[in-house]
């Protein structure tokens, strides 16, 4: 559904993403893992057009492959690439329903420009929003103002906003961040559920979740894709082990200096 060729992003002297070739198939769930600063969030920002790459291409499959490298975030969203955020990033004083409704409305062509019509005349977006809220388990919270939801519920809402407008590709950035272990089970359930009819690229630190839900696992280390395989194979891969545990004793590793992920904007580590 989406693929990159030689995707590279440099910030000054830092190469955050370094020549990544990656492809995500239809209805596939691929996890993207890697130590802090490996370039995961930057990679997301490149896919959604939030950042422009220094080199390389991003393509998206509609009927045929379309080059979306130069598209802005709203253009990629309209094509069907949606994302969630690592830190809850919704519309805080709007209700849960309005959060999803306004996101659904974005995909209604010129409807958002109909200044003279009351929102209530566009029931289809509200229906869609209600369905999505039901699907993510927030059906009882439609009228709750987003900022007053519990943290776990907010993480569900975060996914719900990304689901609005019927995307084909979902990029989920640490959906379980800061969620307690019992609430994680529900999120895992949700991720599995949405992966049935979406192509999902999941950034996740919780390895139990990753091993549990992924069809495939890709590992970024210092901006480079060092592994891309099924979960078990990735777990056994010595390069991956070293990336996580450090290559300090093992000399030869890491000729690539300075893969610092400046694009993350502070991870809640």
Contacting another protein within 31-70 (CB under 8 A): 33, 35-37, 48, 50
Binding flag, residue 235, another protein (CB under 8 A): yes
Binding residue for another protein, selected from 1, 4, 41, 107, defined by CB under 8 A: 107
Binding flag, residue 165, another protein (CB under 8 A): yes
Binding residue for another protein, selected from 102, 130, 215, 229, defined by CB under 8 A: 102
When the beta carbons of 13 and 64 are compared against another protein, the nearer one is 13
Stretches 1-9, 63-71, 77-85, 129-137: which one binds another protein (CB under 8 A)? 77-85
φ/ψ region of 258 (left if φ > 0, alpha if ψ in -120 to 50, else beta) reads: left
Binding residue for another protein, selected from 119, 131, 135, 193, defined by CB under 8 A: 119
Stretches 30-38, 55-63, 127-135, 193-201: which one binds another protein (CB under 8 A)? 30-38
Binding flag, residue 209, another protein (CB under 8 A): no
Binding residue for another protein, selected from 90, 136, 169, 201, defined by CB under 8 A: 90
Q: How far is CA 26 from the centre of its chain?
A: 16
When the beta carbons of 5 and 157 are compared against another protein, the nearer one is 157
Question: Mind spelling out the 3-state secondary structure of the chain?
Answer: CEEEEEEEEEECCEEEEEEEEEEECCCCEEEEECCCCCCHHHHHHHHCCCCCCCEEEEEEECCCEEECCCCCHHHHHHHCEEECCCCCCCCCCCEHHHHHHHHHHCCCHHHHHCCCCCHHHCHHHHHHHHHHHHHCCCHHHCCCEHHHCCHHHHHHHHHHHHHCCCCCEEEEECCCCCCCHHHHHHHHHHHHHHHCCCEEEEECCCHHHHHHHCCEEEEEECCEEEEEECHHHHHHCHHHHHHHHCCCCCCCCCCCCCCCCHHHCCCCC
Shortest spacing between CB 63 and another protein, in angstroms:
20
The whole-angstrom separation of Cα 205 and Cα 173 is: 10
Shortest spacing between CB 113 and another protein, in angstroms:
6
Binding flag, residue 215, another protein (CB under 8 A): no
Residue keyed to tokens 């609430």: 183
Binding residue for another protein, selected from 21, 66, 74, 127, defined by CB under 8 A: 74
Dihedral, CA atoms, 190, 193, 195, 197, nearest 10 degrees? -140
Q: Strand 29-33 relative to strand 169-173: parallel, antiparallel, unpaired?
A: unpaired
Stretches 1-9, 19-27, 96-104, 128-136: which one binds another protein (CB under 8 A)? 96-104
Contact string 124-143 vs another protein (x = CB under 8 A): -------------------x
When the beta carbons of 61 and 83 are compared against another protein, the nearer one is 83
Binding flag, residue 194, another protein (CB under 8 A): no
Binding flag, residue 112, another protein (CB under 8 A): yes
Shortest spacing between CB 189 and another protein, in angstroms:
18
Shortest spacing between CB 16 and another protein, in angstroms:
10
């Amino acid at each position: 559904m989406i693929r990159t060729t030689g995707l590279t992003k440099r910030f000054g002297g830092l190469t955050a993403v370094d020549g990544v070739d990656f492809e995500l198939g239809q209805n596939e769930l691929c996890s993207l893992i890697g130590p802090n600063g490996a370039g995961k969030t930057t990679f997301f920002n490149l896919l959604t057009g939030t950042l422009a790459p220094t080199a390389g291409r991003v393509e998206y499959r509609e009927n045929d492959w379309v080059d979306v490298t130069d598209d802005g975030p709203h253009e990629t969203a309209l094509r069907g690439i949606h994302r969630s955020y690592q830190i809850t990033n919704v519309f805080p004083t709007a209700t849960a329903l309005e959060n999803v409704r306004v996101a659904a409305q974005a995909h209604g062509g010129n409807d958002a420009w109909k200044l003279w019509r009351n929102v209530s005349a566009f029931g289809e977006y509200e229906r869609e929003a209600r369905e999505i809220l039901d699907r993510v388990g927030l059906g009882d919270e439609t009228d709750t103002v987003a900022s007053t939801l519990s943290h776990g519920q907010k993480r569900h809402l975060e996914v719900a906003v990304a689901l609005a407008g019927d995307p084909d590709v979902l990029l989920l950035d640490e959906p379980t961040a800061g969620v307690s272990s019992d609430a994680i089970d529900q999120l895992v359930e949700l991720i599995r559920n949405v992966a049935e009819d979406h192509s999902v690229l999941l950034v996740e630190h919780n390895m139990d979740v990753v091993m549990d839900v992924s069809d495939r696992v890709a590992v970024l280390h210092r901006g480079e894709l060092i592994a891309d395989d099924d979960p078990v194979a990735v777990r056994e891969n010595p390069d991956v082990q070293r990336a996580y545990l450090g290559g300090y004793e093992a000399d030869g590793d890491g000729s690539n200096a300075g893969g610092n992920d400046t694009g993350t904007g502070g991870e809640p580590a």
